[in-house]
Amino acid sequence: MKLYNTLTRKKEEFIPLEENKIKMYVCGPTVYNFFHIGNARPFIVFDAFRNYMEYRGYEVNYVQNFTDVDDKIIRKANEEGISPFDVADRYIEEYFKDADALGIKRASVHPRVTDNIKEIIAFIEELISKEYAYEKDNDVYFDTKKFKEYGKLSKQKLEELNLGARIDVDEHKKNPMDFALWKGKKEGEIGWPSPWGEGRPGWHIECSVMSKRYLGETIDIHAGGQDLVFPHHENEIAQSEACSGKQFSNYWIHNGYINVDNEKMSKSLGNFFTVREILEEIDPRVVRFFMLSAHYRNPVNFSKEMLLQSKSAMERILNSKEKLMFLSSHAQGLLTEGEKLLINELYGFKDKFINAMDDDINTADAISAIFEVARFANTTVSDSSSKEWVEMNLSLLNELTGVLNIANISEGEDISQEVEKLIEERKAAKKDKDFAKADDIREKLKNMGIEIEDTRQGTKWKRIN
Q: Are strands 219-225 and 249-255 parallel, antiparallel or unpaired?
A: parallel
207 is in an annotated binding site: yes
CB-CB contact of 232 with 204 (8 Å): yes
**465 vs 454: CA distance, rounded Å:** 20
CB-CB contact of 4 with 297 (8 Å): yes
Cα 373–Cα 376–Cα 381 angle in degrees, nearest 5: 115
**Nearest Cα to Cα of residue 403 among 375, 378, 367:** 367
CB-CB contact of 128 with 141 (8 Å): no
134: left (phi over 0), alpha (psi -120 to 50) or beta: beta
Cα 74–Cα 76–Cα 79 angle in degrees, nearest 5: 110
* Close Cβ partners of 298 (under 8 Å, ≥ 6 residues apart): 256
Burial class of 256 by CB neighbour count within 10 A (0 to 12, 13 to 18, 19+): middle
**365 vs 183: CA distance, rounded Å:** 46
Strands in 18-105 per DSSP E: 21-26, 59-64
119 is in an annotated binding site: no
**156 vs 150: CA distance, rounded Å:** 8
**43 vs 288: CA distance, rounded Å:** 10
Phi, psi of 223, rounded to the nearest 5 degrees? -130, 160
Spatial strand order of the sheet with 300-302 comes to 263-264, 258-260, 300-302
**Nearest Cα to Cα of residue 68 among 27, 104, 115:** 115
Three-state DSSP at 192 gives strand
CB-CB contact of 30 with 210 (8 Å): no
243 is in an annotated binding site: no
For residues 37, 42, 45, 49, the Cα torsion angle rounded to the nearest 10 degrees is: -160
27 is in an annotated binding site: yes
427 is in an annotated binding site: no
* Close Cβ partners of 452 (under 8 Å, ≥ 6 residues apart): 423, 426, 442, 445, 459, 460, 461
Q: Does an H or E element contain 435, and which?
A: helix 435-447
Could you tell me which residues are annotated as the binding site?
27, 207, 232, 236, 267
Could you tell me which residues are annotated as the binding site for Zn(2+)?
27, 207, 232, 236
Could you tell me which residues are annotated as the binding site for ATP?
267
